[in-house]
Amino acid sequence: MRKAFSGIVSLSVRSFRVVATATAAAVFLAGATVASQAAANDAAIVIDANTGKTLYSSNANARRYPASLTKMMTLYLTFEALSKGKISKTTQVPFSANAAGEPPTKLGVRSGGSITVETAILSMVTKSANDSSTALAELLGGSEANFAKMMTAKARSLGMTNTVFRNAHGLPNPGQFTTARDMATLGMALREHHPQYYGYFAERSFMYGRQRINGHNRLLGRIKGVDGIKTGYTRASGFNLVSSVSIDGRKLVAVVMGGKSGASRDNEMARLINAYLPKASQRGGGALIARTDNDTASKAIARVSLPKHDAPTPDFKPGTDVEAVIASAAPVPARAPKPKLPVAMAAPEPADIPFAQAYSGPEPQQIDPVNTASLPSGWVVQVASSPSKSEAEAALDKTAAQARAVLASASGYTVPFRKGGVTYFRARFGGFETQTAALRACTALKKQRIECFAVQQ
């Protein structure tokens, strides 16, 4: 799958129709709770983090793709390793070619380079860096595949029975899924079990060398009492958000999954917090999530039988027909093979089809590297194209150095494509949140005599 994201390979596939249920309007009752009515394809939950009481629930046990919410578990295991003294904040995290090759959003560390554990943590909670996630996974698990087993094992031990992890970052994988309730459980576990590290989730930016990297969580600083936790987005998952609130003794953990846009997701979360925070208890009832620090990773993995094959997953955003979940520590029963897509034919540009369609062959390679990250925009700025990958990377380095202020929040990467039987490499900067931001960046580059153009992948 990783090769599928390292570049865009031309495919031509017959289109499939995906029918989405329209979002229902919020219902306001005078003198009653403001209950935001989620559409059948959306999921949300609000839990009183003092008592564990569910204050609001909509499709909370329905299967969803976690996207970058996956990094919450990667961070949980990182915090666990820190608390046990296996690593320290200054431990160097090496970047393999595998980690360095992850698509944006990423920190951009080259293969053979390294950063500290603390830098990796900060890059994940703010920039949602996919490369840092993989590098940490390889450091702690030996390999990303083994670390994914550790993640699923830890999920089971925390009571997250409806979650399976296949990677450390959340980029699309048909066998990786969760529920809003499980994500709320993980959010509470992070605060309860690792309070000494939980403050990282409140970071809105951090300095990486001379570059300030800003975060994606727009509710920090907007809603009083919000102190984290994580955003997530892929085309298949929609816009996801886990939020934690602590104010005047009241604590909430809320989850919204499957939002139509970043703004609508944030507004939905704000409505839920405003509606249910006054109903939360000011008195705690003790620990809500069982702690399993005494379990070694190997014992935990041995107790969990992961599905030998990817469990059936939904189209785009699943409905109630896929709300059945895999039983904890139990093999998945045999099932019929997934229907195959027509054989792909070569074409100048890739077709844009939903990743989550049933597909039993090689994973689609037309997923663009920015829209599968944690940002809501697929707009990028291209600065060069060369038959040499090293030349394309050199163009990225030169542009980044020449226009450091313009590209402060952007990530450089290369995309291979074939033309006339020759493989070329596009040098692009991604991470722009809107089309306007990409256009403005390109205009600023041109003023510095750097040729470029903005394009939506």
For the chain, the average pLDDT equals 75
> Given this model, what pLDDT does residue 224 score?
84
Considering Cα of 227, then 144, then 83, then 302, what sign does the dihedral take?
positive
In the chain, the amino acid numbered 56 is Y
Identify any residues that bridge with 228 across adjacent strands, giving them in sequence order.
none
* 398-404, Cβ contacts within 8 angstroms, sequence gap of 24 or more: 399/427, 399/429, 399/445, 399/450, 400/429, 402/448, 402/450, 403/444, 403/445, 403/448, 403/450, 404/210, 404/211
Rounded to 5°, the CA angle 256-190-147 comes to 95
With DSSP H G I counted as helix, E B as strand and the rest as coil, what are the percentages for the chain, rounded to 5? 30, 20, 50
Q: What is the pLDDT of residues 151-172, one digit of tens each?
A: 999 999 999 999 999 999 999 8
Which domains are present in the chain? 26-298 (3.40.710.10), 379-456 (3.30.70.1070)
User: Would you give the distance in Å from CA 405 to the centre of its chain?
Assistant: 26
Contact 433, 239 (CB under 8 A): no
Contact 46, 56 (CB under 8 A): yes
> Given this model, what pLDDT does residue 316 score?
31
Q: Among all residues, which ones are annotated catalytic?
A: 68, 71, 128
**φ and ψ at 81, to 5 degrees?**
-65, -35
> Given this model, what pLDDT does residue 137 score?
97
Distance in Å from the first CA to the final CA of the chain: 19
Q: Where are the alpha helices (DSSP H) in 355-388?
A: none
- Ranges of the chain with pLDDT below 70: 1-41, 285, 292-378, 409, 457
Q: Is 175 exposed, middle or buried (0-12, 13-18, 19+ CB in 10 A)?
A: middle
> Given this model, what pLDDT does residue 48 score?
96
Distance CA 54, CA 47 (A): 5
> Given this model, what pLDDT does residue 293 score?
58
Distance CA 318, CA 320 (A): 7
> Given this model, what pLDDT does residue 294 score?
52
> Given this model, what pLDDT does residue 52 score?
93
> Given this model, what pLDDT does residue 378 score?
64
Instruction: Report the SS3 class of residue 250.
Output: strand
Query: What kind and span of H or E run contains 208?
Result: strand 205-208
> Given this model, what pLDDT does residue 450 score?
93
> Given this model, what pLDDT does residue 366 score?
29
Residue 260, marked binder: no
What pTM was computed for the model? Answer: 0.62
Identify any residues that bridge with 254 across adjacent strands, giving them in sequence order.
46, 243
Q: What is the pLDDT of residues 2-37, one digit of tens each?
A: 433 333 333 333 333 333 333 333 322 322 232 333
